[in-house]
Amino acid sequence: MGGAQFVSFGGKAPRIDPAAFVAPGARLIGDIELGPDASIWYNCVLRGDVNRIRIGARTNIQDGSVLHCDSPRPGNPEGHPTLIGEDVLIGHLAMVHGCVLEDRAFVGLGSIVMDGCRIESDAMLAAGAMLTPGKTIPSGQLWAGRPAK
């Protein structure tokens, strides 16, 4: 994990399981938890500055992806943390923001997942797609397009 940058923010520092892999050039900032055998690849940015990011075992986040979260606010006191289950695959250059990806979810190359979204277990978002705020992809479905459907 040499060459990766781990930054504390607001008194919280990334917590990385010893069996996880973080590539050189990746940046992990703030309240982030990374499970065993998970992998964060080159030039990813995970920013847990205003809420938390949790990543389960064996999840793979590919090169250049950006993960962020949404802060608490009136009417939404918990905000939107980014919660990612086990065995999830997030393709290169994806943007994942304030959402839930259940176990075995798939996010295609260059796609966007916005606040309040959920991709259920064994569901897929196609490459280049945009899942607009609050949408849920049910288990077993593949959604594509901008907006995805």
Q: What is the pLDDT of residues 74-117, one digit of tens each?
A: 999 999 999 999 999 999 999 999 999 999 999 999 999 999 99
CA distance 81 to 131: 16
- Domain membership flag for residue 76: yes
- Domain membership flag for residue 135: yes
Average pLDDT value over all residues in the chain: 97
- Domain membership flag for residue 133: yes
Whether a cis peptide bond, with omega within 30° of 0, leads into 81 is no
**Separation in Å, CA 84 to CA 70, 75, 96, 145, 146:** 15, 24, 10, 22, 22
Torsion-angle region of 79 (φ positive above 0: left; ψ -120 to 50: alpha; else: beta): left
Q: Is the pTM of this model over 0.85?
A: yes
Supply the pLDDT for residue 1.
62
CATH number at residue 15: 2.160.10.10
- Domain membership flag for residue 149: no
Contact 52, 70 (CB under 8 A): no
- Domain membership flag for residue 27: yes
- Per-residue pLDDT tens for 29-41? 999 999 999 999 9
- Domain membership flag for residue 148: no
Residue 53: closest CA among 81, 11, 86? 81
Structure tokens, 12: 């919280």
Looking at the chain, list the stretches that DSSP marks H as alpha helix, in order from N- to C-terminal side: none
- Provide the number of structural domains found in the chain: 1
Supply the pLDDT for residue 68.
98
- Domain membership flag for residue 99: yes
- Per-residue pLDDT tens for 10-34? 999 999 999 999 999 999 999 999 9
For residue 109, what are the domain limits? 5-143
